[in-house]
Structure 1
């Protein structure tokens, strides 16, 4: 046995590759090894399908608006409570979903539990339709809402765990696009499915129930993906010797009092903009049928354009915003374009494909530009609280405005509903302009271009390095030099000497 070199450490340090489990045979192939790109991208497909069912079923009411109102004998206001009941639990769960995944269930078990909530909620929703019990349908949407938003948090956590530092931005863009595909498929499939079932069963609440079971099938697919993800993540954790993923969210309600005015303006924009988009899509089917004389299939196709465009545009627009910066400018532009689209739909009879296609682009642009601004103004240790609070207020706004929008349609019609949405967009525009002005007064940090932000960060790093260098080579006082000399030669310091006394001498107080 060779003698160890005298300069080698007594205890050898093991590399991370030595800690990892060695694989052989099929397990070491590119498709099965979690260290290989191919395996990670196979897992990515499971991550994308994890939320497919929840996004597909979220807009089941929008795709079947006419059928639900006719078969269940409800007005528009009552119909819109199906969206309100989804949002109510998320007013609270947005704060605690990450905590439950991190501290209570763990990411793997938590994903399965929330997937089961989504599946159970859709099943109750379908059973309520088959039994002609609208209150049971509302209860199903409530249960569905408990799992829906938290499942999205779990999906993001898996993405970060598997792709941190490796194509993560692309993965988030692909996730968003795939989610919109689920919404688009729902809009274009559910009405034909209802018509096909009605040829065998006849129209009525029984047919509606059978159609909603199709949505339950997509939720079952998502649950299966959750189970597979849990298995592969546990296997990867064993092989790579890593812990299960965590959301990283830290929620402290008391942090809210320290948030600046710009954060509250961003929250106003978030609520005022999204309440003019999602409730409109929820009511869009009948609007396009009545105003533009479209058949149900064409009306659903138009109504789904926002999601179709978003699926393709989100990664591209995200890349553009990343490269250019100017987030506040893009936010204001997105609000203005959406405002123009609603005005076209309200006051003209132009082909609705035009307005809805443009709205899909502006909707994607706002999402890409608005949410990252929070990270510019809120410290990292408070981001969990900030995003949780924004989502909570957003869900509260969606719950209330959904009910109000339905009541407006029942009492005043769709024209006044569009005026109502225009008022909310005007509020978002005012908040956006105020955000721009306040930011400009404070130096324009939020609306910097990417080049300006990079230059500022580089200058700050250089200034910090120079400051550290000055501190490092700061001349010592005569007292400090004398004390250092005594310490070197082993002289005993007086008993009354301590660090506080030395600070007085450095300040010249006792000289």
Structure 2
């Protein structure tokens, strides 16, 4: 009976990679929408009258509901309780609704002078939509991660996670590359509308994947799972008392706080410090995503076959320190340096995720994975909410150096030192994780593929 059940749908390499491709398209669309407004920061200020604090408020709104209403944690509990199919469909629908509201805020309400919570109504509504989108996107992220852990267990798990991340980064690269040209040729809101259409397609794709996943569950005979495999609310306490959880979570929030919030402001940095053409700046900022397309699966393959996950995370954190420290140097202002640093950032951006997310599946059993990922993403979202607001405030208080056509110009020295500080902390946490790995035997340095 056991031998018969072992011949499952995901034993077919073609089938499991096809399933991955379907859900990866959904995440590609999500990443496009997540980053599509970043290259438009200057246009938001010149065309819609936004200021730096408005943009920081909007960017931080992505994580607001996840942090303050604990939506990510609820999403993780729902995932472990009701499964991949239900949670994935729910998160995809939330992304569509949130993006539609965001589009409404920057079109129909763009000229409204009504003030809500200190911001114009258009800013507030766009930010509210982005916050709803953020709930859907983050829950979709943990859902897809658990899907990979389920479909690729004992197989090419890190490689699969790397491919999924790489394809998602392709969505980011597309956003950074096409947002400004499309906005100039059509309207400021057109890039967002394209993202809305992509998300509708992504939602349909996830519904299609659900058919495959349901068939896999029927082959696994999930109705007879053992008591120890069932989800329990007690799992939350078990997760929170695991030292590996806190180290991975802290490394995650510190590392990603150095990357995603930085990219939201990086197009303006390219223009203001390195005198790069605004139409080209977004493409440079998108280089890490383009590099991740190739490198993340490669590094994931290394983790699968050779292990060394914690070592890879430490190397990535160290590279991040170098990148942000050089960006902070006022005298280093050659545009070629900016490009090279973005390429190095892309390598670091590929190293850490390729090792970090498979490591969670080594620290926790399958029935705790959804909640564990959700709690980690929740802590990550504290940084994704707080850091953009912090940088926006720092810019307003200390970094304005003049105005051009009524738009503020900023010196990015202090913000880049802030990012450097976060990178240093991420390296320290990576070293502590190495100590914990030896003490508790997580097996982070061991290969994923079972021979």
Query: TM-score when scaled to structure 2?
Result: 0.80
Distance 1:241 1:374 in 2: 23
Show CA shifts across 1:168-197 (max 9, x none): 443322211111111111111111111110
Q: Secondary structure at the match of 1:412?
A: helix
5 Å-filtered alignment, 1:221-370, equals: 221-234=201-214, 240=219, 252-255=235-238, 258-260=241-243, 263-347=245-329, 348-350=332-334, 351=336, 352-370=338-356
CA contact (8 A) 2:63 2:381 kept: yes
Q: 1:130 aligns with which of 76, 82, 107?
A: 107
Matched, 1:108 2:108: no
For the structure 1 residues 108 and 271, does the alpha-carbon distance in structure 2 shift closer, same or farther, using more than 3 Å as the test? closer
> Measured at CA, do residues 300 and 83 of structure 1 come closer, stay the same or move farther in structure 2, by a change above 3 Å?
same
Task: Give, in angstroms, the shift of residue 293 of structure 1.
Answer: 0.8
Cα distance in 1 between the residues matched to 2:38 and 2:289: 13
Counterpart of 1:77 in structure 2 is: 53
Does the aligned pair in 1 maintain the 2:313–2:355 contact within 8 Å? yes
* SS of 1:294 mapped into structure 2: coil
Q: How does 1:177-256 map to 2 (within 5 A)?
A: 177-197=166-186, 207-234=187-214, 240=219, 252-255=235-238
- Taking the aligned partners of 1:221 and 1:107, their CA distance within structure 2 comes to 18
> Quick check: 2:63–2:134 contact (8 Å CA) kept in 1?
yes
CA shift for structure 1 position 325: 3.7
The equivalent of 2:421 in structure 1 is: 423
Residues 308 and 15 of structure 1: CA distance in aligned 2, closer, same or farther (over 3 Å): closer
Q: How do residues 88-103 of structure 1 correspond to structure 2 at under 5 angstroms?
A: 88-91=64-67, 92-103=70-81
Distance 1:334 1:72, change over 3 A: same
Which residue of 1 is the match for residue 32 of structure 2? 56
Deviation at 1:369, TM superposition (A): 3.2
> How far has the Cα of 1:158 moved from its partner?
4.1
Work out which structure has the larger RCO, using CA pairs closer than 8 Å and 6 or more positions apart in sequence: 2
1:371-412 C-alpha deviation (Å, 9 max, x unpaired): 455556667765555433322111112211110111112222
TM-score by length of 1: 0.72
Listed one character per residue, the Cα deviations across residues 296-317 of structure 1 (whole Å, up to 9, x for unaligned) are: 2211011011111112111111
1:144 aligns with 2:133: yes
Following superposition, the deviation at residue 121 of structure 1 comes to 0.7
Query: Which structure 2 segments of 5+ residues have no match?
Result: 111-121, 400-411
Cα pair distance change 1:264/1:183, threshold 3 Å: same
Q: Cα–Cα, structure 1 residues 187 and 381, in superposed 2: closer, same or farther, change >3 Å?
A: same
1:87 maps to: 63
| Runs (5+) with no aligned partner, structure 1 | 1-12, 21-32, 198-206, 459-511
Which entry has the higher C-alpha Rg, 1 or 2?
1
After superposition, where does 1:353-502 map in structure 2 within 5 Å? 353-374=339-360, 384-413=370-399, 414-436=412-434, 438-439=435-436, 450=446
Q: Which moved more, 1:159-168 or 1:352-361?
A: 159-168
Structure 2 SS opposite 1:130: coil
**C-alpha displacement at 1:94, in angstroms?**
2.7
Change (3 A) 1:37 1:318: closer
Instruction: Quote how far apart the aligned CAs of 1:335 are.
Output: 1.7
Distance 2:202 2:444 in 1: 40
